[in-house]
Structure 1
């Protein structure tokens, strides 16, 4: 029998699930841009603009197992790597044109994640009016901690969210400050894409984004979820 593939396919990217030995297989990674008002202002924007989305490859996911500090390699080409701590929504039931009222039925669980950004490359592409995938969709750009099933996550809509670097606060806010809340985000996102089980939605970052360097220790938190810890190497 001939081999079905010309080379061995890569392993499935997966994230641990709190309270079980099972893992969550990743399909796509969606990110919401400028979804906290104060972050939008620090990036030179304001107001409740229509939501916009960008994607990262599934193999950009870096899994930080519970109780461990994951390695986060400093990427090439940049001199200005930024952290953006985010609440991540894990989709368990697919669908398109999902209403905000039905959105909770599509959520499997939640995790703490970071949308790492090569800010200098992103800004240069913006100036040129070109796509800025190179600033967002690179290797190791989507760290994530274990996924907590929705029924165990508590009052996630009002949870505190924060990031510390080397023990000092960098970002601190609450999920209730999202411009487009979780259900509204799913409603808007599912108009443009057919969501699938295994999709991850990075819902946006609060104010306080900034640069990290090799050796920095990152500690991200959302109330009710497993913290994420990373070291930049």
Structure 2
């Protein structure tokens, strides 16, 4: 399934809902499952039950675990095996929407974001910019990551305002795994059980500020923490529909290809990342773990930086295109 958070105008105002994207059609999950409960289970409280199981937002849906996912699959199976006229004419509410009639929002307000340093090529290229030719031996001994802001998230087609500080703005081509189940000391062999799905991640970075941040040995600070600096979307693809081991990722700026990579560039797999991160630390549903920037996956590596009005498109096979425009007000 391709899960989205979408916004639509109703008689009660603007509301956000969880839906499934199929081509150019959006299926409202609460309404679809409500119809299933009312028709098949003869439930007198179908809508209230569906809202409780599906959840009021994407985080609630993820926290519902396999119960919510199975309900969503049941709802989809039902509406696609029921005559279209019967589905469209119901007392529950609209189930199908054209993608053109809704606004796709950031799919998830995550519980946390951990971003990793995971590509040997990217790391080497980045160090060469500051005159270092060899990677530290620790890179090969264990994964490295940092926590970044999860409270100023942007989504597909959101405008990204140029921050008031810094001159060299950069994109970073990544994708991310969404944790779907609580766990601690998770083995790499069982880590797949804890991944609910995947989405695209763009880690906007202020490169001239980053050099100052890193000189303190404290890691990234304001260079990666500002409004709309972390971008997710456009959807979450459930883990049963995507093998993340060798998919293509591409970055385009104003239609020009700046980066073309494969996820096999990751030195540590998501399973290995989860094993390390969960060591004596509990992971919770709704946390996301990012792949790290792909080889040649940012402007720093090719000495090209973003300008005001640039349109960034990150495309990941099996997920879609995450598109945003940078605007200097």
TM-score past 0.5 threshold: yes
Aligned equivalents of 1:42, 1:16: Cα separation in 2: 40
Matched, 1:55 2:55: no
Which structure's residues are more often helix, by fraction?
2
Partner of 1:29: 113
Aligned equivalents of 2:195, 2:291: Cα separation in 1: 13
Aligned equivalents of 1:15, 1:131: Cα separation in 2: 37
Change in Cα spacing, 1:232 to 1:16, as seen in structure 2 (3 Å) is farther
Partner of 2:126: 43
Aligned equivalents of 1:135, 1:176: Cα separation in 2: 27
Q: TM-score, normalising length from structure 2?
A: 0.61
Structure 2 stretches of 5 or more lacking a match? 1-15, 22-26, 30-56, 60-109, 128-133, 300-304
Partner of 1:162: 250
Aligned equivalents of 2:283, 2:252: Cα separation in 1: 32
Aligned equivalents of 1:213, 1:49: Cα separation in 2: 38
Deviation readout 1:153-203 (Å, 9 max, x if unpaired): 2x3211011111111111211111100011101111112632110001111
Size of the alignment, in residue pairs? 214
Partner of 1:98: 186
Structure 1 stretches of 5 or more lacking a match? 1-13
Matches within 5 A, 1:124-163: 124-145=212-233, 146-153=235-242, 155-163=243-251
Choose the corresponding residue for 1:89, options 169, 177, 180.
Answer: 177
Partner of 2:318: 224
SS at match of 1:134: coil
Matched, 1:175 2:259: no
Change in Cα spacing, 1:222 to 1:18, as seen in structure 2 (3 Å) is farther
Deviation readout 1:25-76 (Å, 9 max, x if unpaired): 221111112x111101111153635211111222121111xxxx22111112
Partner of 1:75: 163
Aligned equivalents of 2:17, 2:207: Cα separation in 1: 26
SS at match of 2:197: strand
**More off after superposition, 109-118 vs 135-144:** 135-144
Deviation readout 1:71-109 (Å, 9 max, x if unpaired): 111112111111101011111112111111111000110
Change in Cα spacing, 1:128 to 1:163, as seen in structure 2 (3 Å) is same
Change in Cα spacing, 1:56 to 1:129, as seen in structure 2 (3 Å) is closer
Shift of 1:132: 2.6
Matched, 1:204 2:299: no
**More off after superposition, 176-185 vs 130-139:** 130-139
The CA RMSD over aligned residues, in Å, is 2.0
Aligned equivalents of 1:150, 1:179: Cα separation in 2: 20
Aligned equivalents of 1:166, 1:49: Cα separation in 2: 39
8 Å contact kept, 1:56–1:138: no
Higher Cα Rg, which structure: 2
